[in-house]
Amino acid sequence: MVELLFWPALIAYGEAAVAYVGVLRRPDLAARLAIWGVRIGWLAQTALLAVQAYQADGFPWADWAGALNLFVWFAVGAYLVYGSSPRYRLLGIAVMPCAAALFALAGLGGAAEQSGSDLFTAVHVGLVVAGFAGFALAAALAGLYLWLERRLKRRPVGLLRLGPPSLVTLDGVSARVSAVSLAAFSVGIALGLVRGHDVDLAVAGAIAAWIVFGSALFFRRELGWRGKRAAYLTLAGFALVAFLGLPAGHLG
Amino acid sequence: MRVTLVGVSHHGAGVELRERVALRLEDARAVAGELARDAGEAVCLSTCNRTELYVAHDDDVDAEARATRVLLEREPELATALYRLRDEAAALHLFRVAAGLDSLVPGEGEILGQVRAAFDAGATGALLDRLFRQALYAGRKARAQTGIGESPTSVPAAAAALAQQVFGDLKGRRILLVGAGKVSEQTARSLISRGAEIAVVANRTLDRAAELAGRFGSAALPLERIEEELERADVVVASTGSPEPVLRREHVERALRARRGHPLFLIDLAVPRDLDPAINELDGCYLYDIDDLESVVAESLGSRRREAAAAEAIVAAEAEEFRTWQASLEVVPAIASLRARAEEIRCAELAKAESRLGELSDAERRAVESVTAQIVNKLLHLPTVRMKQAAAAADGVVYADAVRHLFGLEDER
């Protein structure tokens, strides 16, 4: 059953990733194909997670593959909130190839197994993974911001052709996504520390990422660090997360 | 009844000719009423690019002659510039006009409203009502399903579209107008139409600034003090006659400290330029000069022309649908006669059978009525459909004549 749901989800995510690249050439057709791929893939993955939850005794996503699976589900779900809008379709170019690759990696890691964990772990892992997914989305928005900012500075031919969201919108949405993710991430980390999680490299990295994202929001509010500065900080925070392999390392 | 179009447009006549046959809406209404007399229909479409008279009448030759006379009476020199189209060609032309495909700027949005106004002021019946409703539908569909009406086609519109690319919604955004010339005013109006507001007008001559500021309900400022407003403005539109830049990089750099990272969009419409090009190197500043804006407009026009091919396919399909509908009108009288004759026979036969049927209850009577009506309908359904299909394939008249002959309907022609 799990296999039956994994492959359709992977194929749909893969199709969406390829279609998003095509958005640059055939915006309307490719975008329709892409967004339907995302929707179908996400629904299939939701069903997959439901089956895994039903089959397992405890929390089934506490190993690295399961956490990655959950991470992709959160990230794509968060993207769906914005990605259905034509103005945010370019965000899919950054989000969907990563989502498809990570989901395939999660599949290689094998089916989720019962790990003897409890509700506390489920909440802890769920919040941390949701935080990671939000950071990934915020980073994608920041990347799109920098790309668009560069285009506006260089004034290339066809500047208005793709109709991406405005700079101010991207900046604001990225900040809001960061703030919500940071809140979820903070509670998740706090729960882990309360439970007596050892302070290892992964935890240190998570705290470092927390400091970077927290600083970005603090500087934005207090010193008016918007636009490029905020985008670079967001990308730096996410790079830290990705470099340390936190989604897998922290939870593995 | 046939549709006839007689008109003149920017393709064949200069503005000096077109202006002489241009009709205000009230005149268009009167002319339409005059052309529609004797059981006809008429609509006059008059815009800055065209004056076109659409007439539907049984006597199409006379209708065309009268429409031609209306235009030539106003301007005899038009004779060689007039075009005349009939039925399907007239419909296709109107659909192209409504979609903006016949406009100087492909996809321009104003024409759809003008077609609607002409339709409302026209003297329409079944034929022109259907034609103009379908034209409005085709125009909307072409715009909705293609990008023909999307990109900006003038410098002010390009400036506004770029400002939206930076800020998104322009509602409440503050504009600093540097220079009180016509071009900057037009650009400002384009921004205002999208929700922005003129905060300050700065000019070397304060009186002129005050005059323009008065029109926008904003403040006036001497040119030397624009740096103060830079801290609060979102968009700067500059168009002075100054030989030197009025705003240098260092002015903007100083203001940026107080802006706390909020972006600043600057439009330089002046030649020589008013804004130091180095301003564009500053973080959060986006500077566009007149060449940049014109290249955006050129690109937009090119993109609209590319989209026009898809829009042409849409209007062609709509014109084909109209042709099929119009052709089906040729067989409608024959179908109506056939059905009337069948109903007449059914009622007569029922009356004859009444004595043989004896006393029927209401329910029994309704059942007999229903059964006989169903038999008639089922018998006539296929011939009706086939006649309509034949009409669409241009054989409608032959079939209609055959039906009239076979069922003895000649007297009802």
pLDDT tens-place string over residues A74-109 = 888 888 886 667 667 777 877 888 888 888 888 876
In the sheet where B285-289 sits, what is the strand order? B219-222, B197-203, B174-178, B235-238, B264-268, B285-289
Q: How far apart are CA B65 and CA B51, in angstroms?
A: 16
Segment of A47-56, B126-135, B363-372 carrying the highest mean pLDDT: B126-135
Question: Quick one: pLDDT at residue B177?
Answer: 93
| Close Cβ partners of B366 (under 8 Å, ≥ 6 residues apart) | none
Chain A residue numbers with beta carbons less than 8 Å from the beta carbon of B166 are 152, 166-168
Q: How far apart are CA B184 and CA B207, in angstroms?
A: 17
If we measure between CA atoms, which residue out of B180, B246, B169 comes closest to residue B216? B180
Chain B residue numbers with beta carbons less than 8 Å from the beta carbon of A216 are none
Kindly report the average pLDDT of chain A as a whole number.
81
Which residue in B161, B168, B288 is closest to A168 by CB distance?
B168
A 216-235 residues with CB below 8 A of B?
A: 220, 223-230
β-bridge pairing B83-86 and B2-9: antiparallel
8 Å CB contact of A226 and B261: yes
Q: How far apart are the first and last CA of chain B?
A: 14
8 Å CB contact of A169 and B288: no
Identify the closest residue of chain A to B159 by CA–CA distance: A160
User: Taking the complete model, does pTM exceed 0.80, yes or no?
Assistant: no
Phi, psi of B13 (to 5 degrees): -140, 135
Q: Chain A closest CA to B263's CA: distance in Å? A: 8
pLDDT band at A203 (very low <50, low <70, confident <90, very high): confident
β-bridge pairing B2-9 and B197-203: unpaired
Question: Quick one: pLDDT at residue B192?
Answer: 92
Query: What are the pLDDT digits (tens) for B163-191?
Result: 999 998 899 999 999 988 788 888 888 89
Q: For residue B378, count CB atoms less than 10 angstroms from its CB and return exposed for 0-12, middle for 13-18, buried for 19 or more.
A: exposed
Interface check B259 vs A, CB under 8 A: yes
8 Å CB contact of A160 and B296: yes
- Determine contact, residues B200/B176, Cβ cutoff 8 Å: yes
Q: Is the dihedral of CA B358, B361, B362, B368 positive or negative?
A: negative
If we measure between CA atoms, which residue out of B149, B137, B110, B122 comes closest to residue B319? B137
Chain B residue numbers with beta carbons less than 8 Å from the beta carbon of A165 are 168
**Quick check: bond before B272 cis, omega within 30?**
yes
Question: Quick one: pLDDT at residue B215?
Answer: 87
8 Å CB contact of B168 and A169: yes
Q: How far apart are CA B305 and CA B103, in angstroms?
A: 11
If we measure between CA atoms, which residue out of A220, A202, A224 comes closest to residue A212? A220
Residue A167 vs residues A88, A149, B182, B245: alpha-carbon distances, Å: 12, 7, 30, 27
Interface check A190 vs B, CB under 8 A: no
Q: What is the SS3 string spanning A35-93?
A: HHHHHHHHHHHHHHHHHHHHHCCCCCCCCHHHHHHHHHHHHHHHHHHHHCCHHHCCHHH
Interface check B167 vs A, CB under 8 A: yes
Which two tokens mark B229?
């407003």
Higher pLDDT, A120 or A183: A183
Q: Chain A closest CA to B280's CA: distance in Å? A: 7
Kindly report the average pLDDT of chain B as a whole number.
89
- Determine contact, residues B234/B173, Cβ cutoff 8 Å: yes
Is B48 among the catalytic positions?
yes
B260: left (phi over 0), alpha (psi -120 to 50) or beta: left
8 Å CB contact of A227 and B286: no
8 Å CB contact of A159 and B162: yes
Tell me: pLDDT of A56 over 90: no
Identify the closest residue of chain A to B257 by CA–CA distance: A224
Predicted-complex ipTM score:
0.73
If we measure between CA atoms, which residue out of A96, A128, A101, A121 comes closest to residue A22? A96
Q: How far apart are CA A12 and CA A80, in angstroms?
A: 14
Q: How far apart are CA B322 and CA B107, in angstroms?
A: 22
Question: Quick one: pLDDT at residue B176?
Answer: 94
Interface check B149 vs A, CB under 8 A: no
Chain A residue numbers with beta carbons less than 8 Å from the beta carbon of B299 are 157-161
Higher pLDDT, B357 or A147: A147
8 Å CB contact of B284 and A168: no
Q: Chain B closest CA to A161's CA: distance in Å? A: 8
